[in-house]
Amino acid sequence: MPKLIFINPNGDENSIDAENGLSIMEVARDHDLGIEGTCGGSISCCTCHVVIDKDWFPIVGKPNPDEEDMLDLAVGLTDTSRLGCQIEITDKLDGLRICIPEE
């Protein structure tokens, strides 16, 4: 199981064993990490906005055009912002560092 490291706005880290096939939004939501995922993953909200660690961003990859349009509405958008519901967990993401923005 890949391990994901979620970093709270206050700097606290939570290391979580995540199941392959789930999305980052689902894992964060199920562990009460401050990610709501209001629309359930249909790219119609920004409540799953996360900031990917710079070193990891090339591995995670860029948002697709629909996701980019929605991200434009996110508070605190950064160069490595993604919608958590659009990132599927796989073994290659083992050790991924994800910042949860303050919102």
Give the C-alpha separation, 83 to 42, whole Å. 10
**35-44 contacts: CB < 8 A, separation 24 or more?**
35/84, 35/100, 37/84, 37/85, 39/85, 40/85, 41/85, 41/86, 42/85, 43/67, 43/70, 43/83, 43/85, 43/86, 44/70
Is 43 a binder of ligand FES (CB under 6 A)?
A: yes
Compute the chain's Rg from CA coordinates.
Answer: 12
Residue number with CB closer to ligand FES (23 or 93): 23
Is 50 a binder of ligand FES (CB under 6 A)?
A: no
Q: Which of residues 4, 18, 25, 100 is near ligand FES by CB under 6 A?
A: 25
Is 82 a binder of ligand FES (CB under 6 A)?
A: no
Is 51 a binder of ligand FES (CB under 6 A)?
A: no
Is 83 a binder of ligand FES (CB under 6 A)?
A: yes
The residue ranges that bind ligand FES (CB under 6 A) are 25, 37-39, 41, 43-45, 47-48, 70, 83, 85
